[in-house]
Amino acid sequence: MLSTKIEKSLNNQIKIEAESSQIYLAMASWAEVQGLSGVATFMYVQSDEERDHELKLVRYINERGGHAKISALVAPSIEFGSFKEMFKTLLEHEIFVSQSINKLVDITLKEKDYATHNFLQWYVAEQIEEEAQARTILDKINLIGNDKGGLYLFDNDIKQFTTNKP
Ligand code: OFO
């Protein structure tokens, strides 16, 4: 059985994962309109993954006798300036999510909820991977600079990030 505090904190994380999915969907749509089809494909996959993270939490809360509550979401931005700025925003958002997961882990220890602590380890590992991926992509973008040919290749290459995932 989940304590009220843990249930509330996990429900808050559901909202964060759902908002992440919406943010990446908005990025996918923006990239598609810009003609960056590879970036759009990547972002559509990221959006789906965040929805999976949300569902995993919903199922866990209900399985442990709590009630996963689906709430209203903050609307994402619909313009992202340049694709470099968009990936910077993505990295900053992933860092924010990692901090939120860390706080959750901390609460589970204070509440002595070792089952939820164990459940959250998957999210800890996922955040390490997602932050590292965002940094790798930003490094590549910095290498390209303003080179149009480089951008074309980047847009093509980024699809591999979606197919190389375990
Ligand atoms: Fe939900 O994995 Fe990143 O944000």
* Closest atom of ligand 1 relative to the 93 alpha carbon: 4
> What is the predicted pLDDT for the residue at 163?
61
pTM: 0.95
Ligand 1 site residues (CB inside 6 A) read 17, 20, 50, 53, 94, 97, 126-127, 130
* d(CA 129, ligand 1 centre) in Å: 10
**What would the pLDDT profile of 7-34 be if each residue is shown by its tens digit?**
999 999 999 999 999 999 999 999 999 9
**What would the pLDDT profile of 61-74 be if each residue is shown by its tens digit?**
999 999 999 999 99
* d(CA 49, ligand 1 centre) in Å: 8
| Cβ atoms 98, 125 nearer than 8 A | no
> What is the predicted pLDDT for the residue at 10?
98
DSSP count for the chain of H helices, then E strands: 6, 0
| Cβ atoms 48, 27 nearer than 8 A | no
The Cβ of residue 26 has, within 10 Å, a number of other Cβ atoms equal to 19
Half-sphere exposure of 66 (CA within 13 A, CB side): 21
- Domains of the chain, each with CATH number or no CATH: 4-163 (1.20.1260.10)
- The rounded radius of gyration (Å) of the Cα atoms in the chain is 17
Query: Where does the pLDDT of residue 164 fall: very low under 50, low under 70, confident under 90, or very high at 90 and above?
Result: low
| Cβ atoms 10, 116 nearer than 8 A | yes
